A and B are shown apart, each in its own frame.
Chain A
Amino acid sequence: MKYFTRLRVRRVYRWRGEPVRFNRKLRTREYSSLAISVEGLPRVTVINAGQHILIEGEDEDNPYVARVVRLFGDESGKQKKAVVQWFVRVSEVPPSKLKLLGREPHPQEIFYYQGRSCDDEVNAESILRPVQVKHLDGAAPFPDSDDKDTLYVKLSWDSKSFKAVDSAVVESASEPAPASSLPPPSPTSRPKPSLPSSPPCSPPAAAPASRGPSRRALPTPDPTIMRKASLGEVRYRRATMSAGKAGAAAEAESRHSATKLSASKCLSAKRRNASARTPGVRKKLELSSPEKMTREDILDQLLDEELESDAMLAQRLSSSPPRALPLDQRLTPLRKAHRDPTVQDDVLLQPSIILNKVSLSETEGPASSARDEPTSPQQGDVMEAELPSGSVQTPRRRNATPRRKQATTPSRKKDLKTPREPVLGVLAEVDDENSPMLPAAATPRSSKRKSAQLVSSRIRKQLNLLDNQLDLNSDGEDEDEFIPSKKEMQSSSEEEEDGEEEAGLDSDEEVVAKKIRHATAGSRTPRSKQRTRSSTRTPRKTPSRKITPGTPRTPRHATPSIPSRSLPARQPANVLEEARARLHVSSVPESLPCREQEFQDIYSFVESKIMDGTGGCMYISGVPGTGKTATVHEVMRCLQHAADVDEVPPFHFIEINGMKMTDPHQAYVQILQKLTGQKATADHAAALLEKRFSNPAPRKETTVLLVDELDLLWTRKQNVMYNLFDWPTRRHARLVVLTIANTMDLPERIMINRVASRLGLTRMSFQPYSFKQLQQIIMSRLNKVKAFEEDALQLVSRKVAALSGDARRCLDICRRATEICEHSATDPFATGLVGMSHVMEALNEMFSSPYVAAIKCASVQEQLFLRAVIAEFRRLGLEEATFQQVFVQHQALCRVEGLQPISVSEGLAVCRRLGACRLLLLEPSRLGVLQRVRLNVSQDDVLYALKAD
Chain B
Amino acid sequence: MMESRTAHAPRSSQQMGESPSIMSKRKAKDAHLPVGECITQVQRILRERLCHQQLPDKPEGVEAQQKHLLELLKRTAVHGESNSVLIVGPRGAGKTMLLKCVLRDLLEEKEAQKNLLQVHLNGLLQTDDRIALKEITRQLHLENVVGDKVFGSFAENLAFLLEALKKGDRSSSRPVLFILDEFDLFAHHKNQTLLYNLFDVSQSAQAPIAVVGITCRLDVLELLEKRVKSRFSHRQIHLLSSLTFTQYLERVQTQLSLPEDFPDTKFAQDWNDSIKTLGEDKSVEEVLQRHFNSSKDFRSMHMLLTLCLSRVSVAKPAIKPADLQEASRLCFADAKANMLHGLSILELCLIIAMKHLNDVYEGEPFNLQMVHNEFKKFLQRKSNSMYNFEQPVIMKAFEHLQQLELIRPVDSSSAKTQREYQLVRLMLDHSQIMEALQKYPQCPTEVKQWGMSAFG
Contacts and interface: CB of A to CB of B under 8 A. Distances in A.
Interface of A: 555-556, 558-572, 577, 580-581, 584-588, 623-625, 659-663, 666, 669-670, 709, 712, 742, 804, 806, 808-809, 812-813, 815-816, 819, 823, 845-846, 850-851, 853-854, 856-862, 884, 887, 891, 899-906, 909-910, 913, 916-919, 926-930, 936
A255 B176 CA distance: 59
Interface string B154-180: 110011111111011011111110000
Contacts of A569: 78-80, 170-172, 208
Contacts of A562: 117, 140, 164-165, 167-168, 173-174, 176, 207
Interface stretch (B16-24, B372-380, B422-430): B422-430
B205 A586 contact: yes
Given A580-B81, A929-B429, A918 B219 contact: yes
Given A903-B332, A905-B336, 10 more contacts: A556-B146, A560-B142, A564-B168, A564-B173, A569-B78, A570-B79, A624-B226, A659-B193, A806-B230, A903-B333
B218 A917 contact: yes
From A560, A816, A884, name the one whose CB has the most chain B CB atoms within 10 angstroms. Answer: A560
A857 B240 contact: yes
Contact of B235 (A666, A816, A884): A816
B236 A850 contact: yes
Contact of B90 (A585, A846, A913, A926): A913
A566 B114 contact: yes
A556 B294 CA distance: 58
From A564, A580, A862, name the one whose CB has the most chain B CB atoms within 10 angstroms. Answer: A564
B191 interface: yes
Closest 7 pairs between A and B when the two form their complex, measured CB to CB: A624-B230, A857-B240, A569-B80, A860-B293, A903-B334, A560-B164, A555-B147
A944 to B, nearest CB: 16
A903 B155 CA distance: 52
B432 A904 contact: yes
Interface of B: 67-68, 71, 78-82, 88, 90-91, 111, 114-115, 117, 129, 140, 142, 145-149, 154-155, 158-165, 167-168, 170-176, 191, 193, 196-197, 200, 202-208, 216-219, 226-227, 229-231, 233-236, 238, 240-242, 290, 292-297, 332-337, 363, 405, 408, 425, 427-429, 431-432, 435
A669 B159 CA distance: 11
Contacts of A929: 427-429
Contacts of B67: 823
B230 A659 contact: no
A916 B230 contact: no
Nearest to B93: A857
A572 B91 contact: no
Contacts of A571: 79
B226 A846 contact: no
Contacts of A565: 80, 114-115, 172-175
A937 to B, nearest CB: 9
A816 B132 CA distance: 30
Nearest to B144: A555
B431 A906 contact: no
Contacts of B217: 916-918
Contact of A661 (B80, B158, B435): B158
Nearest to B80: A569
Contact of A659 (B163, B197, B229): B197
B167 A666 contact: no
A567 B429 contact: no
Contacts of B147: 555-556, 558
Contacts of A856: 240, 242
A899 B145 contact: no
B293 A859 contact: yes
Contact of A662 (B154, B167, B334): B154
B290 A900 contact: yes
B173 A563 contact: yes
A616 B234 CA distance: 38
A904 B336 contact: yes
A587 B205 contact: yes
A850 B174 contact: no
A887 B432 CA distance: 12
A157 to B, nearest CB: 32
B123 to A, nearest CB: 14
A904 B204 contact: no
A918 B218 contact: yes
Contact of B82 (A586, A666, A809): A586
B337 A903 contact: yes
A23 B147 CA distance: 62
Contacts of A742: 226-227
Contact of B81 (A581, A808, A823, A919): A581
A485 B187 CA distance: 59
Nearest to B145: A560
Contact of B427 (A858, A860, A917, A930): A930
A662 B68 CA distance: 35
Contact of B227 (A559, A709, A819, A904): A709
A638 B67 CA distance: 43
B203 A586 contact: yes
A860 to B, nearest CB: 4
B201 to A, nearest CB: 9
Contacts of B193: 659-660, 662
A720 B231 CA distance: 26
A845 B221 CA distance: 13
Contact of A712 (B191, B290, B429): B191
29 contacts: A556-B147, A558-B146, A560-B142, A560-B163, A562-B140, A562-B168, A565-B114, A565-B115, A566-B174, A567-B114, A567-B115, A569-B172, A585-B204, A586-B203, A624-B226, A660-B197, A662-B154, A662-B193, A806-B230, A823-B71, A845-B236, A854-B240, A903-B333, A903-B435, A904-B337, A906-B294, A916-B90, A917-B216, A927-B408
B296 A859 contact: yes
B89 to A, nearest CB: 8
B296 A662 contact: no
A728 B79 CA distance: 45
A625 B158 contact: no
Contacts of B230: 624-625, 804, 806, 808-809
Contacts of B71: 819, 823
A213 B160 CA distance: 58
Nearest to B238: A850
A659 B227 contact: yes
A943 to B, nearest CB: 18
A900 B162 CA distance: 57
B158 A558 contact: no
A103 B87 CA distance: 59
A467 to B, nearest CB: 11
B205 A588 contact: yes
Nearest to A822: B71
Nearest to B115: A565
Nearest to B172: A564
A889 B262 CA distance: 50
A901 B236 CA distance: 36
Contacts of B171: 568-569
Contacts of B191: 659, 712
A565 B217 CA distance: 35
A809 B161 CA distance: 27
Contacts of B231: 624, 808
B423 to A, nearest CB: 13
A851 to B, nearest CB: 6
A561 B167 contact: yes
Contact of B240 (A625, A804, A853, A926): A853
Given A857-B240, A857-B242, A846 B235 contact: yes
A845 B235 contact: yes
A565 B174 CA distance: 4
A586 B170 contact: yes
A146 B435 CA distance: 107
B328 to A, nearest CB: 11
Contacts of A809: 230, 234
Nearest to B149: A556
